[in-house]
Amino acid sequence: MTDRYGVIGNPIGHSKSPWIHAAFARQTGEDMTYDAILAPLDGFDAAVRAFRAAGGRGLNVTVPFKLQAAALCDDRSERAREAGAVNTLRFDATGAFGDNTDGAGLVADITRRLGVTLGGARVLLLGAGGAARGVIGPLLRERPAELRLANRTVDKALDLERQFAAEGPIAAGGYDALAGRAFDVVVNATSASLAGLVLPLPRGLYAPRALAYDMVYGDRPTTFLEQARATGAATLADGLGMLVAQAAESFWLWRGVRPDTAPVIARLRAS
Ligand code: NDP
């Protein structure tokens, strides 16, 4: 029987996940379907129960249900626990297992596809929301020389510094504390680019050969990437690669097969 998967959220019409997983299934010859599921804002648990009762094997979870997904799991991965949010559910005889593949997706896109080494690098992470929280553990496990956090609301960044202090060299502050500092990798995990806003970043932020990475993606370079280009970043990347790489990580959790992300990213970009 064909195995059923899907992505659940509200809204969900914009999701690229059905297209991405259909491409992975074709590429790997896996016998599966993958649908977009719109859950009512007050009906997430019921929608998941109905999906499981109909034989569903796994779900991706998107806005605004990632925290509720974490609450309904019988068991969670370490990276889902530290992120405090679940974007992947797997259902089997032992129950519902929750994972968070965002951080692994970011690290895979930076190291494998873009060929940038995070080990020993000076890394700056902008933002302290859900996306930032999800990638800190995976970034620290790459053993950077330092992981600097900067956020508009400084207290949120300081909270994350405290949470992850035992995991590696992490320090947090506001944007004004970045003056005079240079980084090899700068990751934008704020949603400022979505609104076309420019972050108050000082000049001289980018070391020679530095990578600027925006988790936001779109048809055109984001405001953050435009600013990075103008202020000396050598390599620019948006979050489309992360989107496909986190999907590949979910696919691996469900099917035990790793799809090749490069052709899928290329086709998405072209379309
Ligand atoms: P949250 O709402 O949880 O956090 C938003 C963050 O952006 C906060 O740190 C907030 O700062 C900051 N921010 C918002 N507006 C501004 C501004 N004008 N100036 C400075 N900082 C600002 O969102 P998420 O963390 O869930 O998502 C962040 C972005 O990452 C989204 O755009 C999302 O689309 C993207 N994303 C991409 C993924 C991918 O696969 N490519 C995966 C996950 C997320 P403050 O705390 O001060 O409010």
pLDDT tens digit string along 169-196?
999 999 999 999 999 999 999 999 899 9
Q: Does residue 81 carry a pLDDT above 90?
A: yes
- As a whole number, mean pLDDT of residues 234-257 equals 98
- As a whole number, mean pLDDT of residues 251-263 equals 97
Distances (CA, A) of 244 to 15, 57, 103, 119, 237: 12, 20, 12, 23, 13
Decide whether any atom of ligand 1 lies within 6 Å of the 194 Cβ.
yes
Topology alike, domains 3-100+245-270 and 103-238: yes
CA–centroid distance, residue 149 to ligand 1 (Å): 13
Question: What atom in ligand 1 is closest to the CA of residue 133?
Answer: 25
Decide whether any atom of ligand 1 lies within 6 Å of the 199 Cβ.
yes
Q: Does residue 217 carry a pLDDT above 90?
A: yes
**Least confident residue range of 73-77, 100-104, 129-133:** 129-133
Q: Which residue puts its alpha carbon closest to atom 43 of ligand 1?
A: 131
CA–centroid distance, residue 26 to ligand 1 (Å): 33
How many other CB atoms are there within 10 angstroms of residue 32's CB atom?
18
How many other CB atoms are there within 10 angstroms of residue 258's CB atom?
13
The pLDDT assigned to 271 comes to: 87
- As a whole number, mean pLDDT of residues 126-140 equals 95
Q: Does residue 1 carry a pLDDT above 90?
A: no
Percent of the chain with pLDDT over 70: 100
Decide whether any atom of ligand 1 lies within 6 Å of the 242 Cβ.
yes
Give the class (CATH, top level) of 3-100+245-270. alpha beta
Which tokens belong to 169? 């060299």
Distances (CA, A) of 120 to 4, 169, 192, 204, 250: 42, 11, 28, 20, 28
Question: What atom in ligand 1 is closest to the CA of residue 131?
Answer: 25
Catalytic residue, candidates 6, 58, 61, 66 = 66
- Alpha-carbon 215 to chain mean position: 7
For domain 103-238, say whether CATH 3.40.50.720 is its number: yes
The pLDDT assigned to 259 comes to: 97
State which of 88, 133, 191 you would mutate to test the pocket of ligand 1, scoring each by most atoms of that ligand within 8 A of its C-beta.
191
- The per-residue DSSP string of the chain comes to --EEEEEEESS-TT--HHHHHHHHHHHHT--EEEEEEE--TT-HHHHHHHHHHTT--EEEE-TT-HHHHHHH-SEE-HHHHHHT--SEEEEETTEEEEE--HHHHHHHIIIIIS----TT-EEEEE--SHHHHHHHHHHHTT--SEEEEE-SSHHHHHHHHHHHGGGSSEEEE-GGGGTT--EEEEEE-SSGGGGTPPP-PPTT-EEEEEEEEES---SS--HHHHHHHHTT-SEEE-THHHHHHHHHHHHHHHHS----HHHHHHHHHH-
Is 66 noted as a catalytic residue in this protein? Answer: yes
CA–centroid distance, residue 6 to ligand 1 (Å): 24
CA–centroid distance, residue 192 to ligand 1 (Å): 7
Domain ranges of the chain: 3-100+245-270, 103-238
